[in-house]
Amino acid sequence: KAGRNVNGHITMRHQGGGHKQHYRIVDFRRDKDGISAKVERLEYDPNRSANLALLCYADGERRYIIAAKGLAAGTQLLSGAEAPIKPGNTLPLRNIPVGTTVHCVEMQPGKGAQLARAAGASVQLLAREGSYAQVRLRSGEIRKVHVDCRATIGEVGNEEHSLESIGKAGRVRWRGVRPTVRGVAMNPIDHPHGGGEGKTAAGQDP
């Protein structure tokens, strides 16, 4: 069962069950430079809020990437320093104009994207000074990132993910989330709020 440690004790509540999922290997490095790729199709991914785009490169290789907003089947993409500035293309920060909205930003050159990967996420390139660039995250935090780190133009697609109505309790269970029991509904042994006849106020430790 999920959420248990080596002794079988629950260490993380509300985990378990859920539908079986296959993990999709996503290309966060985008290191096939200079080889054009065509978006074959957009796919759902149960492992993340964003959708995936399946790319077919000119040499026949296929890779998944995080689908940028505005991508559709048939879109041509390119990565590398020479790539044009259009959504879905990946370039080093040194080659991206200041003020551009980007996503899937690396924090160390060559490590793969770590920032702004969720549905609807984006960061803004604010400035470049020497070998570092400044990016503003959605939280308002401003981070310094090396200019050789790569970023993808545009923002992540599926931006209405947060507005989606789950509809029923069962859909939460499909995602592997178990119910949250209120402390007041428990016995005294299980919770400080537990026990009592009827509804009683929580006792305060003096």
pLDDT (tens digit, 9 = 90+) per residue, 3-47?
A: 999 999 999 999 999 999 999 999 999 999 999 999 999 999 999
Three-class SS of residue 23? Answer: coil
Q: What is the C-alpha radius of gyration for the chain, rounded to an integer number of angstroms?
A: 23
Could you tell me the residue ranges of all domains in the chain? 37-153
Unique residue bearing structure tokens 């050789």: 148
Query: Residue 200 pLDDT more than 90?
Result: no
Take residue 29 and report the two structure tokens written for it. Answer: 């490095």
Residue type, 168: K
198 — pLDDT class (breaks 50, 70, 90): confident
Q: What residues form DSSP beta bridges with 173?
A: none
Query: Whole-angstrom Cα distance, residue 38 to residue 56?
Result: 5
Domain at 37-153, CATH from 3.40.50.2020, 2.30.30.30, 2.160.10.10, 3.90.1660.10: 2.30.30.30
Take residue 160 and report the two structure tokens written for it. Answer: 């209405």
Query: Residue 97 pLDDT more than 70?
Result: yes
pLDDT digits (tens, 9 = 90+) for 144-157: 999 999 999 999 99
Take residue 124 and report the two structure tokens written for it. Answer: 């803004």
Q: What is the bridge-based pairing of β-strands 113-115 and 105-106? A: antiparallel
179 — pLDDT class (breaks 50, 70, 90): very high
Of 33, 32, 54, 35, the closest CA to residue 43 belongs to 54
Q: Where are the beta strands (DSSP E) in 149-206?
A: 150-153
Query: Whole-angstrom Cα distance, residue 149 to residue 146?
Result: 6
